[in-house]
Amino acid sequence: MRQSQAVSRRQNVAKRSMTKEAKQLTGLIAGLRESLEAIQKERTSMKLTGAEMGLLDERRNNLLLTIAALDDRLSAVQGLIDLGRPHIIRVH
């Protein structure tokens, strides 16, 4: 019985941890999307040199890649929570 309670407790802790991670990822993604919109406005509203345009394009591409990676992570975390299989990721 105690082992079952310990497993249940670990799963509850993991679920809380992963739910917190999902909320953090959602907030981070939203902030990055705002930055992406700001870059797009800057690209269209100002007269920019080719070099400046290239820098903005590079920043936009990096943001898009980062958002895609975070979206993938968020999807994985939410999938594990929905399946009832949360786990705590151990970093060594």
Question: Using one digit for the tens of pLDDT, what is the confidence trace for 8-34?
Answer: 888 888 888 889 999 999 999 999 999
C-alpha 24/C-alpha 64 separation (Å) is: 18
Position 6 scores a pLDDT of: 77
C-alpha 25/C-alpha 20 separation (Å) is: 9
Position 2 scores a pLDDT of: 77
pTM of the model as a whole = 0.79
The model's pLDDT over 44-85, given as tens digits with 9 standing for 90+, comes to 887 888 899 999 999 999 999 999 999 999 999 999 888 887
Position 91 scores a pLDDT of: 47
C-alpha 78/C-alpha 72 separation (Å) is: 10
C-alpha 11/C-alpha 23 separation (Å) is: 18
Q: Which residue has the higher pLDDT, 91 or 44?
A: 44
